[in-house]
Amino acid sequence: MSNDNKYTARPIRPGRGRGPMGGGPMGHGMPAEKAKDFKAGFSRLMTYLTKHKAALIVVIVMAVCSTVFSIFGPKVLGNATTELFKPLSAKGQAYSHLQDALPEDIRAGMEAGTLTPEQAVMAAVNSPDKETAANVMKAAEELKQASEMRIDFGKVGGIILTVLALYLLSSLFSFVLQYVMAKTSQAIVYDMRREVDVKLGKLPLRFFDGRTHGEILSRVTNDIDTISTSLQQGLTQVISAVTTLLGIVVMMLTISWIITLVSLVILPASFIVTKTVIKKSQVYFKKQQAEIGHINGHVEEMYGAHTVVKAFGKEEESEEKFARINERLYGVGWKAQFLSGIMMPLINFLSNISYVLVCVIGGVLVINGRISIGDVQAFIQYSRQFTQPITQVAQIANVMQSTVAAAERVFEVLDEPEMTPDKHAVHVPEARGAVEFEHVSFGYEPGKPVIKDMNLKVNPGDVVAIVGPTGAGKTTLVNLLMRFYEVDEGRICVDGMDISEMPRETLRRRFGMVLQDTWLFGGTIRDNIAYGREGATEEEIVKAARMAHADHFIRTLPDGYDTVLNEEASNISSGQKQLLTIARALLADPPVLILDEATSNVDTRTEAYIQNAMIALMKGRTNFVIAHRLSTIRNASTILVMNEGRIIEQGTHKQLMDKNGFYADLYNSQFTGAIA
C-alpha cells in the first residue's frame, strides 16, 4: 500500500457536499484561491461589464437608492419613540422645574414625603417672597399642562407609515436591482460561455491531449458559474455595503459626534481581532485541506482496489492508515473550526462594549437635553448595523480573489493559440482516395520527432495495414492525415492536393473512422448510427447495421432501434458499442476508411463476420488499418511496419514473412505467446 503522504491536497469542488469529505461552505478564515495577477484579471473581467453600461448605471442607482431609504428608517423611527415618550418626558421636565422653583425648606419637605406636591405649591404661593411665589405658580401650571398631555397616536401612526413607505421603496429598488443584475450577469456569462464554446472549436487537438476532460469541463462550467454568482451577488453587495457604511457614519454624526467617536474607537480593535484570527486559522485550514486530500485519496484508492485489499488480507492495515489520517484531520479540523468560530463571538463582545458605552453616554446626553431618546434608539440601531458592511466587504474581497482566479482560468482558454485558419481553395479535386506522404516529419514536442522523413504513396482502393510496437507512430500517422496536427516538415497530399490547402471540413468528410475507444452519445441507437450521415433513411441505417452484424442484437433489445443509450452507453456491452461505431462508419460510406483495431472489443465469431464484411466494404475505397493483432491484416494489399517513426518494412504478409525481418518476429512472437 502507498505511504500516508502519497496524496497531495486535491481541489474540492464547491457545492459538492458538507463536512470533511465535501467542499462545504467557506468558513471564516478559509483561504481563498488567489489570482495570479488580480489587477489584470479584474480589469479584463470588468470589460465584460462595460458592454452593459446602461444596466450597470441602473444597478448602481438602484443600489444607492435602496440603501439610502433603508438608512433613513431608524432615524425616522426614532421620532416615533420620542413622540411616545413625549408626555412622560414633559412631565418629568416640569416636575424638575417645580423642584427648582420651590424654596429649599419646602423642597426638602416634599422630597422627604411630609408634603405632597400640591401642599408644597400652596405653601410656596403663600410665601412673602412674591418672586418665588410667581415662579412656583408658573412651574405648577407647567406641571399641570404636562400631566394633561397625551400621546399623539395620529402623529405616531404617520411616522410609522413613513417608515413603512421608506422600507417599501427600499425593497422596490432592491427588487429592480436584483432583476437587472440577474439579467446582466447571465448575459455576461452567456457571452463568456459562447466565446469559450467557439474557442474550443478552434483549438487544435494538442490542447485537448495535454489536459484532462475534467479540467476543461471545470473551466467551462464551475469557473464560469463562480463568475456568474460573484457578479450577481458580489457587485451589488459592494455598492450596498459602501453606501451603507458612508450613510450610517453620516447619520451617526448628525445625531451626536461625541457618541460617534466612541463607536469608532471600537473599529481598530475589531480589525486587529479579525486579522489575528484569520491569520492563525488559515494555517489550520490549509492543513485541513491537505488532510482532506489525503483521506479522499486513500478512500478512493481503497474503494477502487477493494478486491485486491481483501485478496491480500490488508483490511486491517488499510483501516489503521485511515485512522492515522483521520486523526490528523480531526486535530487540524477542530482547531480550524474553533478559531474561525470564535471570531464572531469576539466581534460581538466588542460590539456589546460599544453598545454599553452608547447607552451610558446617550443616557447622559438625554438627561441633559442634548439629544432625544429616539435619537439614542436610532444610534443604537446604526451602531449595530455598522459592523455588517465592514464584514461584507471583507467577505467579498475574499470571494473576489476566487472569482478573478476563476476568470483567469477561463481567459487562459480564450488566449490559447488557435488552429491555423483554413485556406478556402477555389477548386477541390474529386474524392478518389489517393494519399501521399512526402518527406513528412513531426513531433509532439520540439526536438522529439515521432515521425521522421516519411515517404508513402497509397493508390485508391489500397488496403494499407500499419503495424509496429507501441510508440512507433501508427496513430500519429492517422492524426496527421486527418489534420488533427500539422506536420513540422514535408507535406501530405490527398487526391493530389496538399491537405494544408484543403478546408478541414472538406478533408474530414473524405474519411471515416472506427477507433479502439468507442464513442456514443446519449440517444437512441438509430440516432447514433445515423450520426454517420445526415439525412440517412431507415433502410440505409438498417443496411449498415446488418453489414456490421449489429442488426441481430439490436432487434433483441426491448425497443430495438429506439433503445435509448444512457450517458456512458453502459446498458450495452463493449462489443456491441464497437459494432454500432462500425455501422456508423459504414453508413458514412467515405472514400477513405481508418480502422484503429476496430475489432478489438468483439468476440472471435463476430470478428470473423466483421472481417468478411470489411473485405467487401473495402473494395473501391482506400483503407488504413492500424492493427495490434497481426492475424487480422493478413489480407491487406500493403503492410507498413513502423518503428521509431520510420517505415522499416513494407510489403504483403507473404513478402514480409519470407523476408524474416521485424514483421516476422512480431508475427511469430504473438503466436508463440498464444501457444505458450
Domains and CATH numbers, the chain: 50-64+170-414 (1.20.1560.10), 423-510+592-676 (3.40.50.300), 521-589 (3.40.50.300)
Cβ-based neighbours of 136, under 8 Å, separated by 6 or more: 98, 101, 102, 121, 124, 125, 127
Q: Per-residue pLDDT tens for 10-29?
A: 333 333 333 333 333 344 44
Q: What is the pLDDT of residue 601?
A: 56
Q: What is the largest CA-CA distance in the chain?
A: 150
Residues of the chain whose pLDDT is less than 50? 1-29, 673-676
Q: What is the pLDDT of residue 4?
A: 40
Residue 7 and residue 10: Cα distance in Å, rounded?
A: 8
pTM comes to 0.65
Half-sphere exposure in the Cβ direction for 422 (13 Å, CA): 15
Q: What is the pLDDT of residue 467?
A: 85
Q: What is the pLDDT of residue 469?
A: 78
Shortest CA distance to 647 belongs to which of 434, 456, 482? 456
Residue 591 and residue 589: Cα distance in Å, rounded?
A: 7
**Amino acid symbol at 192:** M
Q: For residue 635, give the C-alpha cell.
A: 489480407
Residue 285 and residue 32: Cα distance in Å, rounded?
A: 10
Q: Where are the alpha helices (DSSP H) in 102-129?
A: 104-112, 117-125
DSSP readout, 533-583?
STT--HHHHHHHHHHTT-HHHHHHSTTGGGPEE-TT-TTS-HHHHHHHHHH
**Amino acid symbol at 150:** R
Across the beta sheet with 489-494, what order do the strands follow? 451-458, 435-442, 489-494, 497-498
Q: What is the pLDDT of residue 3?
A: 41
What are the respective helix, strand and coil percentages of the chain, to the nearest 5?
65, 10, 25
Q: What is the pLDDT of residue 629?
A: 67
Tell me if 163 sits within 8 A of 55, measured CB to CB. Answer: no
